[in-house]
Structure 1
């Protein structure tokens, strides 16, 4: 895990169709929404749009062209 201030970056590998996972914690839910809008406009494959997850984080998930799952999350405002 790499972090600075409140931003965290974590890379993991799991078995299955999308074995590599990258998790980025950002500072605000607005940042999650901004990234969602930007990436949606650019044609990214959005696996799950932003929402508050059962574990309490505001999070979205997308798949990059190589199949990596990218999770972007923030603590709800």
Structure 2
């Protein structure tokens, strides 16, 4: 992971203090649009906006306070 660009969310540096830094967790949900709207309504910061990926999945990404990178996704 050290070869990742410095701004990449999974980039681990020598002084990283967050326990989850460098870990990506993927959560597959039935309705990613609904989950996205609920996350936005709660005011949680979105790292990557809701996007349709070239491989057919829709997802968005957030970073939790401990540094875990969460990808919330669904196929619809």
> What TM-score do you get using the length of structure 2 for normalisation?
0.65
Q: Which runs of 5+ in 2 are unaligned?
A: 1-9, 13-20
Q: Which runs of 5+ in 1 are unaligned?
A: 1-14
Cross-structure match for 2:15: none
Counterparts of 1:61 and 1:54 in 2: how far apart (Å)? Answer: 16
Cross-structure match for 1:33: 33
> What TM-score do you get using the length of structure 1 for normalisation?
0.64
Deviation at 1:70, TM superposition (A): 0.7
Deviation at 1:24, TM superposition (A): 0.8
Counterparts of 1:65 and 1:37 in 2: how far apart (Å)? Answer: 20
In the comparison of the two structures, how many residue pairs are matched? Answer: 59
